[in-house]
Structure 1
């Protein structure tokens, strides 16, 4: 008996080591793909940079050589994040797959392309907000009084300050659906905390937009809409989960009779 008791901790320890080894392997593969997409971003950095410059009619000034390096690395890093994101989600799914049911595997697998698409759509929407609303507003503040001079670093920093938050917040529906399916969140909780959610989103809108009340509201409105869509999707997932639980209980009662 004592030998059996000693063997149980060893088996558990071996199980943990196997899980850590698998996790390490998947993280290494993810890092490999990150480096691969980072190199791809470096290769196409000129095309991406020109895309960001085509929609503006202002002259950018270069103050120091470090700005060029910062822009190149930031663009490559953003490409690497966007490209690696679906692969990272796939690795996470493969890691937790043995603990999921067949139905949960199919449902969670469908989240992976949605995560990538929402990230790209969020960045595109943020860029549209920047080009069509924020940048024209900032330029209008000058009113021809001063000579406008944009540095390269400040311009691109301004772009990423707007686009990346939108890319992250566009993932909110997927995150809410996933947490609802796990039972961590419920539609009732999201509805009860709606006013706090609005407050946080308005604060975020003020952080990523110029100090103009109307423009801050315009930026916050899409975030609020995303929050409401997340609540609706949470209700859908929660209702499906309750229906499956009810069917399961009815089947057990039928078998018991």
Structure 2
């Protein structure tokens, strides 16, 4: 009996060590991938900047600002591209513990998350950011000579794009939580008003304090929540059919 317990303990320790080693490998690969993307963006930053500047004349306030500016923008862009890579690596880590069906379903979330993120970032870059930025500049030009600094410009740009990139993953998160049994379509409908309130607070935090700007961000977020409920309902029905088939 003691020998069996000792053997089990050794096997558990070996398994934990293997998991730790695998997680360390994933972390190192992710850091390497991020570093490579960071260096690439840093090298090509002079070519990337004109596209991001959208024709505005942007100024630096000090000699060190160019370093902070280049590294900040390169790091943000590299992080956006590294996120799908990390998701795929984590899927490979949990794959041995999944059934073939669970593995296939989980894998579909990796491109779905990536697509949602880039769709949200594109929505922020091509729609939300230009509208909000031009609106604010016009207000400022009525009373002041507006000087657009690199730090403020790209902080506003990254806030408008990356935050929406993550927020656009809301339906994917809702479907995933439904598939593992944490949420249900009924529950999502019951908490709808609280979800709307939370989304309104988030939209207020990432936009200027005016109704038009907040509505421009809040409206698609509400639509995404409703889309999440619809997809959750589809997922829930499929889950119920599979469970009924297994029982019968």
TM-score with structure 2 setting the length: 0.94
Deviation (angstroms), 1:97: 0.5
Given candidates 69, 72, 75, the residue that maps to 1:74 is 72
Any stretches of 5+ residues in structure 1 without a counterpart?
A: 251-257
Deviation (angstroms), 1:165: 0.9
Deviation (angstroms), 1:144: 3.1
Q: Residues 129 and 160 of structure 2 are in contact (CA less than 8 Å); yes or no, is this contact kept in structure 1?
A: no
Q: Could you tell me how far apart the structure 1 residues matched to 2:208 and 2:202 are?
A: 12
The residue that corresponds to 1:254 in the other structure is none
Deviation (angstroms), 1:82: 2.1
Q: Could you tell me how far apart the structure 2 residues matched to 1:64 and 1:39 are?
A: 23
Q: Residues 82 and 116 of structure 1 are in contact (CA less than 8 Å); yes or no, is this contact kept in structure 2?
A: no
Sort the Cα spacing of 1:42 and 1:161 in 2 relative to 1 into closer, same or farther, 3 A: same
Deviation (angstroms), 1:11: 1.4
Deviation (angstroms), 1:62: 1.5
Sort the Cα spacing of 1:143 and 1:18 in 2 relative to 1 into closer, same or farther, 3 A: closer
Q: Could you tell me how far apart the structure 1 residues matched to 2:15 and 2:191 are?
A: 40
The residue that corresponds to 2:174 in the other structure is 176
The alignment of Structure 1 onto Structure 2 pairs a total of residues equal to 248
Q: Could you tell me how far apart the structure 1 residues matched to 2:32 and 2:181 are?
A: 33
Deviation (angstroms), 1:143: 4.9
Deviation (angstroms), 1:81: 1.3
Deviation (angstroms), 1:61: 2.1
- Specify the structure having the higher radius of gyration (Cα): 1
Q: Could you tell me how far apart the structure 1 residues matched to 2:129 and 2:179 are?
A: 37
Deviation (angstroms), 1:214: 2.6
Q: Residues 71 and 153 of structure 1 are in contact (CA less than 8 Å); yes or no, is this contact kept in structure 2?
A: yes
Q: Could you tell me how far apart the structure 2 residues matched to 1:38 and 1:249 are?
A: 51
Sort the Cα spacing of 1:61 and 1:143 in 2 relative to 1 into closer, same or farther, 3 A: closer
Instruction: Give secondary structure in 2 for the equivalent of 1:61.
Output: coil
The residue that corresponds to 1:40 in the other structure is 40
Given candidates 149, 154, 157, the residue that maps to 1:156 is 154
